[in-house]
Amino acid sequence: MTKETVHATIVVERDYPFSPERVFAAYANADAYRQWHAASGVTHELTYEFRAGGRLATTFGSKDGPKFHSEGHFEDIVPNERIVSAGSMHGFGHRSSSTLCTVELRAHNGGTHLTLTDQSVYYAGETPQMRNEGWNGILDTLGSFLQRKAA
């Protein structure tokens, strides 16, 4: 394991044809969150206290492959507008990153413009490119989840 650290800020944006209230509800409900937040696998365990100061812990990964663990808390929640969380990711046999993540929701063209800003330090094993791919997959899965629930 290297002692080098890498700092990166990743910004991912999406437009969804649903109201900010609808998109926020997908974050606010633990059962909904479990269904869409592990884009590349399944959520094996989830602790989800959706309130400022509340705990957020998840173990996720492929059905039979490696598992990753993320643990942190919610820093700030403004209903239908903003969710800020902070935590650490564990994988590759050790803590791989620490993150401050902000999700902003804005009404736009009859739907929602979502901006996710991930400010992280990577220790070893995980890279900003891996995280960027992960967030893009997760937000695509959120869009599919919202579409299914609208049907």
What is the pLDDT averaged over residues 5-20?
Answer: 97
Q: Is the pLDDT of residue 36 over 70?
A: yes
Q: Is the pLDDT of residue 2 over 60?
A: no
Q: Is the pLDDT of residue 93 over 90?
A: no
What is the pLDDT averaged over residues 91-110?
Answer: 92
- pLDDT per residue as tens digits for the range 125-134: 889 999 999 9
| SS3 category, 65 | coil
∠ CA 7-9-13, rounded to 5°: 160
Would you state the pLDDT for residue 40? 64
Give the residue from 43, 28, 11, 31 showing the smallest Cα distance to 116.
11
Give the residue from 90, 97, 103, 86 showing the smallest Cα distance to 129.
97
Output 93 or 148, whichever has higher pLDDT.
Answer: 148
What is the pLDDT averaged over residues 80-92?
Answer: 93
- pLDDT per residue as tens digits for the range 40-56: 677 788 899 999 999 99
Q: Is the pLDDT of residue 69 over 80?
A: yes
